[in-house]
Amino acid sequence: MPSSTPRISLGASGLDISRLVYGVWRLAESADTSVPATLRKIHACLDQGITTFDHADIYGNYACEALFGEALKAEPALAARLQTVTKCGIMLASSKYPERKVKHYDTSAAHIRASVDASLQKLGVEVIDLLLLHRPDPFMDPAETGACLDQLVQSGKVRAVGVSNFQPWDCELLQSAMQTPLASNQIELSLLAQQPFTDGQLAYLQRKQLPPMAWSPLAGGALFGDGAAAQRVRPVLQALASQYGVGLDAVAVAWLLSHPARIVPVLGTNDLGRVQALGDAFKVRIDRETWYQLYSLAAGVEVP
């Protein structure tokens, strides 16, 4: 099947990823976590040109990377066809780590290196394509963290590095201590999470020519719930879905894809039918006026 998903380069990092990314954060919640079930999801993505898979060490209470890795072990040739993204830095107060007194962040060199080694082992890959710091760490030593990230790229364990949920000033602080250019910032962004469009986050990334990655692009399902904003946008979403013969989710994702910031949505679902339809977002065309119609309906107010 020809690829329906375009590709995009992440700034000066040189890393090339698919314009849609499959997020595996719910993999351990699936009713079927067997290797064949995971492989069906991976193949459903690859069949439509979605080659990039978004992980984090903590997903599924530290279980999702290993589940994915077991699938790759069953079909080793798959590893060469996909890109792995993973994150580190959040320390959960988990039953797996009873010695931890409280949830906290750790961006020390020792922890980042240990986390990368653990992710490589669990995923069963030779290199992590993109490593992200999961959250800003108020206790971060930028010189130590930046040097560690540089060394990981230089060692070949990691191809590119970036951040997640960082504000522009957090990015600037870390980048000031690094030689390696940051490749992206993964932020919450959707019709119901519009703040980055006006609070400087997207403006910063556009100025740096860094495509942002958007987590929870469907607002965690709230976009299809009973909230006031969801009810306001649903008639327009439904009209466009009917026009293009796609689901409501495809229209919501197309709304993000149409923005000139070159947003890369990260989509996660355990429903195989929905996985197979992720690429439908590219069938939808959102013009400027329609973009603002949805933007204003979600916000509940016209632009000034």
Q: Which of 22, 59, 105, 204 is catalytic?
A: 59
62 is catalytic: no
229: number of Cβ within 10 Å: 18
Cα-atom radius of gyration of the chain, to the nearest Å? Answer: 19
Crossing angle of helices 142-155/168-175, nearest 10°?
Answer: 70
What is the spatial distance between Cα 274 and Cα 208, in angstroms, rounded to a whole number? 33
The two structure tokens encoding residue 62: 């530290």
17 DSSP β-pair partners: 8
**Look-up: residue for tokens 């149409």?**
258
For the chain, the farthest-separated pair of C-alpha atoms sits apart, in whole angstroms, at: 55
What is the spatial distance between Cα 22 and Cα 266, in angstroms, rounded to a whole number? 6
Q: Is the Cα torsion angle 39, 44, 49, 51 positive or negative in sign? A: negative
Q: Is the Cα torsion angle 287, 236, 47, 190 positive or negative in sign? A: positive
Cβ neighbours of residue 81 closer than 8 Å, sequence gap 6 or more: 46, 51
The two structure tokens encoding residue 284: 């939808």
Identify each DSSP E strand in the chain by its residue range: 7-9, 16-18, 21-23, 52-54, 83-88, 90-91, 104-105, 128-133, 158-164, 185-188, 213-215, 264-267
Length of the chain: 304
Catalytic residue annotation: 59
